[in-house]
Structures are given as C-alpha cells and as structure tokens.
Structure 1
Amino acid sequence: MPSQSFIELKDLQIAVRIGTYGPDDVVPDAHILDLTLTISSDLVMVPRDEMALVFDYDPLIRRIDTLAQAQHYETQERLMTRIVQACAEYPQIEALTISLRKRPVLSGTGTLGVRLIVDGEAMTVLRNSLSVSV
C-alpha cells in the first residue's frame, strides 16, 4: 500500500545569532524553525510499541541545537544549509521541507523567513556530494 509518512517539528524557537544590525535596524527577538521530514511509512505503522522500530528524532533535534549555537551566522540560509546537511546523514529521511523565520520585522510586527524543499532526488545528490567530500 503506497503511503507517505512525515515527522513534523513546528514553531521551535532556537537559540541562534543571525545577522549584523546597525543602530536603527530592527533586531529579531526570535528565530523559529519548522521542519517536516519525509520518512518511510514502515517507521510509523509499526507492529509493536518499540523505539527500535521508529525514527528517533531526538538526536537530530540535539544536533540542530548544537549547530544553531555553534557560531554567529550572517544568514538564515547558511544555518538552514547546515541543518539540511545534518538531516542527510540520516538514511531514514527521504526528503524534507525546512523553514526558518525571524520576528519581528518592522515596528514590532511580522515574521520573515526562508523555506526550502529538498525532494528525494535532491537528497540523494546531497548525500552523494557529502560522502565525496568526507
């Protein structure tokens, strides 16, 4: 039976420093991550209640936190790239959608973000390029 399964991480406020701001610039007070991972339905529709049968996302969340706090980033895009590369290290992740947004944007309001969709073919290309560069 064809099916798709997803792990969804929504509205995760991450501790990160992104950007360089002047005295009159709006400095964001939050950076928020959404991450949707496409995984095999075999990792969701399981015959028994055992952690060994599912995708353990906790190590990935810890890795994202480590990447976010590891350095000052000039751009949201660079942090997103590093998170996507970390996801590529998990063969269970077939594809993903990632969104990183900041708030506020102007006059204490608004969010501004970047979204990236990495399909299965792009994930394979990424994995192959990462294995070559190692």
Structure 2
Amino acid sequence: MPLRSAIELKDLQITTRIGTYGVHDVVPTAHILDLVLTIDPALVLIGTDGMDRVFDYDPLIKDIDGLARDGHYETQERLITRIVEACASYAQIEAVELMLCKTPVLGKTGRLGVRIAVDADALDKMRPRPASALDGTGW
C-alpha cells in the first residue's frame, strides 16, 4: 500500500461575517472550519528533526484567518473558494478537503455547512502560474 499523509485541522472557529439576515432569521454564532491537506509523506517521515524538513502550515493558517476577516461574504462557498486558492499557492499541498459550517441551525443546535474535496489534478489547475506562462512567452 502506498504511503499517504495529511495535515488535519479540526473545529477551528474562524472570525468571519457570512450571509445577510433579516430580523427574524437565525444568525450564526460561529463558523467552524475543518481542513485536510494531503502532503508528500517525505514531509512527515523525516530522518532528522527540523522545520526545514516539514511543511510549515502556520503561514497558511494566517492566510486563512486573513481571508476570513477580509470583509463580508454573502456565501460560505466564496470563502471556501478563496481558501482552496490559498492552498493551491503552496506547492507542498497535493490535495485538499475542507468543510466550512455555521452553527446553530434553527436557533438551537446543529451545524450546516459546505464540503469540497479538491484532488491533485484540480488543485494543479488552480495553482498560480509564472507571468511568462500566462503570456505565452514560455520560460
């Protein structure tokens, strides 16, 4: 069986504003993010201890926090799209799965959210390209 490795972030309550609500609507009190990043097992099974040997996820977490606080979103889907795009900017991330949900539902309990899984091919298509690749001049 081939090796597979992931970095998982669970139940991160993010500070964001999503949706437009009327006077009688249930306004979420929290938005929760779950994130699974598929990475090369060589970044997990390391022979010597050191940050230069692993994927440093702290900058990505800061990026996500910045995107969440960036302004008002009408939909969870738009914030999810921006988070996936941020993940695509890290070459070490081979695939990503995330779920963003809000709570409560109907004013009491429960979570309601959106989940997406982006495989390696789809993530590669989203990766930023060098300017020369975009303008057709090549390297």
Q: TM-score, normalised by structure 1?
A: 0.94
1:10-89 aligned within 5 A: 10-89=10-89
SS at structure 2 position matched to 1:48: coil
Match of 1:101 in 2: 101
Deviations along 1:30-70, whole A, 9 cap, x unmatched?
00000000000000000101100000000000010000001
Identical-pair percentage: 62
Q: TM-score, normalised by structure 2?
A: 0.91
Give aligned pairs, total: 131
Give the deviation of 1:21 after TM superposition. 0.1
In structure 2, C-alpha distance between the alignment counterparts of 1:107 and 1:76, rounded to whole Å: 18
Q: Which protein has the larger Cα radius of gyration, Structure 1 or Structure 2?
A: 2
Give the deviation of 1:108 after TM superposition. 1.4
SS at structure 1 position matched to 2:42: helix
SS at structure 2 position matched to 1:83: helix
> Which ranges in structure 2 are unaligned for 5 or more consecutive residues?
none
In structure 2, C-alpha distance between the alignment counterparts of 1:78 and 1:107, rounded to whole Å: 24
Q: How large is the RMSD of aligned CA atoms in angstroms?
A: 1.3
Give the deviation of 1:109 after TM superposition. 1.3
